[in-house]
Structure 1
């Protein structure tokens, strides 16, 4: 219940929960005291399908007892465990705490497994079939949701099986990306470029850098406008791994290909984020995962995911 933004909602949930339990007790008490007039044959007078009659028998005591025990159990549960608004319960149990405890236990049990790989350089890890099997599971559990199970990415998510790296493809840079995460920002540049026609000219020039189909006349007019882009993408649009600026001179397009996609990028910009895995994965796990990711585009061993 830590997501409550005001004490009112915590109190509201607590009161509503207790009121519901008390209402069950009240209903049980009223039902137990209610007396239905019975006829001489001990029926209530209700008849269904011509001959089915409801007997006027009291509710079984065992059923009443179980009902009361259920209510008592509910009150006891709410005293011991969280459930009354922001009240944490006597034991202060939480799913986050349970997850953290189980994760710590699993990491301790796996330490001997990872110990064999932590002393090896990433390049050596990438050639070890056992390490690659572990790395593949780590990748599927933590990275495949964005980069795909085959690591070939998709629109907005980099392909990890080629040699086109926004921040560098060395083992050190890959480990840094996994550990700290990345935030890539392309600011809207339309105002700096000029008119919509200037933007269109610049987009054609960007296409020309990679030899993609473009309007050569517009590309010539847009060349001078590329100066506002060169500070990040470099002269000739070859990219800059220091700031994560993509190489515009190849034919790898992370956020879509074609004139319209480039115009939109110039007009609206783009912000991409890769979440940091530090805190979610241990240093040993990150080391093995780095070997697996590096191996996707470098190592040529079974299980290394060579493209």
Structure 2
């Protein structure tokens, strides 16, 4: 009888073990599916070869990063390449290749003697950056819990004086008693449309006046729409 109960118990544990093992696999498949769906929706092509991306980044950062930024988002003297039309239409270096080899002296860009393979690697890196910016659904959420919670609590309740207005329980301590939750949330979302309380019913915002001086010297005044 005892043996039968143990056998039955073991049989019941098998589906549970399978479920525990399968859960992370299913989650990963869902994330991958979301990324693939995002690529199709945004008409993004195939992801570049990771090895080529890595090689391209090692070439790009020391040679191009000082102007265009280490992540190609633009710098003090170079434009953003992640959203560059030329880069977006580039296929394995066919568009950026001539620019790299010839440079743009009129804009202060020197030429670089890269091989065809090196240009393709740089193209792969830039492609990965532009695709990453377009397809945010492929982002993998990482564990970002860092720091010392005890030290943070000490600062919150001590030198930081955060607890004079805020509370870790979410009630905002002394602030929450001044206004109801809806009004408080509205003030956060639309700070320019409220005073200390909710606006009167039917009240309209005062128009923002703008003055524009044209190159000819003509002055135009009116209400700002956008």
Q: How high is the TM-score relative to the length of structure 1?
A: 0.25
Higher relative contact order (Cα pairs below 8 Å, separated by 6+ residues):
1
Compare CA radii of gyration and give the structure with the larger one: 1
Q: How high is the TM-score relative to the length of structure 2?
A: 0.34
